[in-house]
Amino acid sequence: MCPPETPTDFIRTIIQEDLASGKHQSIVTRFPPEPNGFLHVGHAKAICLDFGVAEEFGGRCHLRFDDTNPSKEEQLYADAIQEDIRWLGFDWGEHLYHASDYFEQLFEWACHLIREGHAYVDEQTAEEMRANRGDLNHPGVDSPYRNRPREESMDLFLRMRAGEFEDGAKVLRARIDMASPNLTMRDPAIYRIQHSPHPRTGDQWCIYPMYDFAHGQSDAIEKITHSLCTLEFENHRPLYDWFLEHLPVPAKPRQYEFSRLNLSYTITSKRKLKMLVDGGHVNGWDDPRMPTLCGMRRRGFTPQSIRALCREVGVTRTEGTVDFALLQSLLREELNETAERRMAVLNPVKVIVENWPQGKVEMVTAKNHPSDPLRGSREVPFGGELWIERDDFRIEAPRKFFRLKPGAEVRFKYAYYLTCTGYETDADGEVTEIRCTYDPESKGGNTEDGRKVKGTIHWVHAPSAAAAEMRLYDHLFREPNPEEGGDFLQNLNPDSLKVVSAWVEPDLAQWPAKKAVQMERLGYFCLDPDSSGEHLVFNRTVALRDSWAKLEKKIQQGSAGT
């Protein structure tokens, strides 16, 4: 067990110093999603940081929706976002806010800028603005409207609000420096005309503030002390500070940037995720293969494992890609402790026990957890007709294959030792039935003579088994970097979802939703919402480590070479 380590990183160091120096009595952070899509693992890192530091330092964290672009935002997303944050285990208490709560104040501040000569209404088209902005190597050119009288800008801005102009006809710009080497400082647009109803303010407004004009001021209004965001906003920090300096704001929050989370085999671009959904490459935003929090939840990932991932990767300014295997490892670490064991056969082949008394069914005792006796045990039916994994039997087995093969004796876990006496095949050579004899002296899975039986396999009693659909997942992309080659859609893994018909032990027929289970030797599973009393559906959250698969591959390569 790992001790409860308190993470330390450059942001926490800054906060500690600010607290120690008395710059702040307590800290306030915020998580500011735009309600235009679903949250994904990348957001989880920001959420863990924003809410995490607030918790650690006894401050608070606000949930604030950055709802400044009504043409893209919907209440549906805002609701889903709240559900996802709560699921991760964080709580904003009373502190739910919206940038739209501040529209009136923001508007006043825009007027203030105009009055001070720090903003003007531009009438250039978007194309003209772009052309006159210059580029990386050339300074921009002043707009012909840049030096118009303040009164004129004020009049126009008021009329913009009054709805006199069409979308895009005019725009309010901050008057900063068209020659700034930082492109975001070249007279950025701060208000645009958009005649679309807002989910919260309805048709009250037809002009909306841009992100840059809303974010820092919202932070100031809420007295945010540390405004944490990802690296792509670094270039915006001078503008963030510029507004705070030129406006009569009640506080001077500071922005700090950290690098976003990248996971191998995963994309976390809202736009591209949407392409996967719209293109039918996945079955919706909560498809268990999606890196969305709702998808991961459905797949069976736990909030703890995602939080553990965020703790492990830390907070820095260096950009990199975290191995997806780390998340899986953390998940297994947790589930190994918490999940009870059950048995299921995914790719069944029949076993007939020749010397088993006709029609007899015997209950054997199986532990619910291998190392935790407190989890108890259950009685599982065993008999003369069983299902085992096709893969646990070989007619001709490679060296070191410890499972069933002609003449070999293996342990049927918790039941008996069985020895393979023969098998049947169909016209294609496919094994249709395996015949065995059992040793009556081996009940429970051991004998008094103490003889060694290396192989142990799982099984399900055929007559009492329940049918279940098992959905087995693999990476959505076959390349660690989905962008490899330039087009992520070309790298989709055609085998990312495999659906199989399985047999499961009777107990699984009433398995509770949301409860993780380890199917012995196969992996961790959970019930899918598609499941019904009639039709069981399980998702494999993550497979167990499989060192045999590696060994076998090596054996094959070795024999191929000789």
Site residues for RNA, 27-66, by CB under 7 A, read 32, 34, 66
Query: Contacting RNA (CB under 7 A), which of 76, 231, 395, 509?
Result: 231
Min dist CB 500 to RNA, Å, is: 18
Choosing from 30, 34, 254, 257, the catalytic residue is 34
Question: From residue 310 to residue 329, what is the string marking binding to RNA with x (rule CB under 7 A)?
Answer: --xxx-xxxxxxxx-xx-xx
Residue 534 is given by DSSP the state S
Do the beta carbons of residue 379 and residue 364 sit within 8 Å? yes
Tokens coding 305? 């494992």
d(C-alpha 225, C-alpha 403), whole Å: 62
Q: Which of residues 468-497 bind RNA (CB under 7 A)?
A: none
Min dist CB 343 to RNA, Å, is: 9
Min dist CB 251 to RNA, Å, is: 20
Query: Contacting RNA (CB under 7 A), which of 14, 19, 111, 129?
Result: 129
By C-alpha distance, which of 474, 469, 471 is closest to 328? 474
Using the CB atoms, write b or e for 390-427: b if 16+ within 10 Å. Answer: eebbeeeeeeebebbbbebbbbbbbbbbbbbeebeeee
Tokens coding 381? 């039916």
Query: Contacting RNA (CB under 7 A), which of 175, 236, 307, 378?
Result: 236
Q: Which residue has the tokens 């725009």?
A: 171
Do the beta carbons of residue 27 and residue 228 sit within 8 Å? no
Residue 453 is given by DSSP the state -
3-state secondary structure 133-179: CCCCCCCCCCCCCCCCCHHHHHHHHHHHHHCCCCCCCCEEEECCCCC
Choosing from 270, 367, 375, 394, the catalytic residue is 270
Question: From residue 425 to residue 444, what is the string marking binding to RNA with x (rule CB under 7 A)?
Answer: -------------------x
Answer yes or no: 552 catalytic: no
Residue 411 near RNA by CB under 7 A: yes
Query: Contacting RNA (CB under 7 A), which of 50, 60, 68, 502?
Result: 68
Residue 544 near RNA by CB under 7 A: yes
Residue 243 near RNA by CB under 7 A: no
Answer yes or no: 223 catalytic: no
d(C-alpha 511, C-alpha 518), whole Å: 12
Cβ nearer to RNA, comparing 230 with 283: 230
Please report, for residues 190, 226, 247, 252, 368, the alpha-carbon distance to residue 24 in angstroms, rounded to integers and kept in the order given. 30, 10, 21, 11, 51
Residue 256 near RNA by CB under 7 A: no
- What is the total count of residues that contact RNA (CB under 7 A)? 93
Tokens coding 316? 């820095």
Cβ nearer to RNA, comparing 271 with 512: 271
Cβ nearer to RNA, comparing 184 with 283: 184
Q: Which residue has the tokens 């990802």?
A: 230
Please report, for residues 5, 42, 271, 283, 292, the alpha-carbon distance to residue 275 in angstroms, rounded to integers and kept in the order given. 39, 18, 6, 12, 14
Do the beta carbons of residue 522 and residue 542 sit within 8 Å? no
Question: From residue 367 to residue 406, what is the string marking binding to RNA with x (rule CB under 7 A)?
Answer: --xxx----------------------------xxxx---
Answer yes or no: 260 catalytic: yes
Q: Which of residues 284-303 bind RNA (CB under 7 A)?
A: none
Cβ nearer to RNA, comparing 79 with 546: 546
Min dist CB 535 to RNA, Å, is: 26
Helix ranges (H only) for 26-149 are 41-56, 75-88, 103-115, 126-132
Cβ nearer to RNA, comparing 369 with 478: 369
Query: Contacting RNA (CB under 7 A), which of 82, 105, 336, 338?
Result: 336
Choosing from 133, 148, 260, 435, the catalytic residue is 260
Query: Contacting RNA (CB under 7 A), which of 82, 419, 456, 464?
Result: 456
Q: How deeply is 41 buried, as exposed, middle or buried, from its count of CB atoms within 10 A (0-12, 13-18, 19+)?
A: buried
Query: Contacting RNA (CB under 7 A), which of 87, 145, 256, 548?
Result: 548
Tokens coding 299? 């797949």
Cβ nearer to RNA, comparing 467 with 549: 549
Q: Which of residues 138-197 bind RNA (CB under 7 A)?
A: 167-171, 181-184, 188-189, 192-194
Min dist CB 208 to RNA, Å, is: 7
Please report, for residues 196, 347, 497, 536, the alpha-carbon distance to residue 539 in angstroms, rounded to integers and kept in the order given. 41, 15, 10, 10
Question: CB under 7 A: which stretch of 51-59, 203-211, 352-360, 528-536 binds RNA?
Answer: 203-211
Question: CB under 7 A: which stretch of 74-82, 154-162, 505-513, 547-555 binds RNA?
Answer: 547-555
Catalytically active residues, by annotation? 34, 260, 270
